[in-house]
Amino acid sequence: MIRVTVLKDQNLYREFSCIGHAGFDEYGQDIVCAAVSMLVINTINSISSFTKDAISVSSNEEEGRIVCQLPESYSDGCKLLIDSMLLGIREVSEQYGPEFITLTIKEV
């Protein structure tokens, strides 16, 4: 199962992480894993390419883990990109089910 967790402080995102593998299909054939990975990685790349916000990213491919920490303050563009990622993840979760992907937003 893929677990996407977003940490928020009031209305500000602080961190988002994606951990695990969906298990929808065999490795290399798992469209749920591919969809979520693309959404998360594209969001990170877009923040880096299209904003001046300094994010910190760590990952471990074997564990299927990627964590993105956000600066204390960031642009509206960064927020929009994360909102868009979350919309996509919700859509994937609704289409394929919570047994393959969960999205949790935690207030910190």
Binned at pLDDT 50, 70 and 90, residue 66 comes out as very high
Q: State the DSSP H helix or E strand holding residue 106, giving kind and residue range, or none if neither.
A: strand 101-107
Instruction: Look at residues 3, 28, 20 and name the one whose alpha carbon lies nearest to residue 62.
Output: 20
Q: Is the pTM of this model over 0.85?
A: yes
Looking at residue 64, its pLDDT comes to 87
Fold of 2-107: Alpha-Beta Plaits (3.30.70)
Binned at pLDDT 50, 70 and 90, residue 61 comes out as confident
> Do residues 70 and 78 touch, judged by C-beta distance below 8 A?
yes
Instruction: Look at residues 84, 66, 68 and name the one whose alpha carbon lies nearest to residue 76.
Output: 84
Record the tokens describing residue 3, joined without a space: 């677990």
Amino acid at 15: E
Mean predicted lDDT score pLDDT of the chain = 96
Q: What residue segments make up the domains of the chain, in order of their start?
A: 2-107
Mean pLDDT of the region 86-95 = 97
> Do residues 57 and 66 touch, judged by C-beta distance below 8 A?
yes
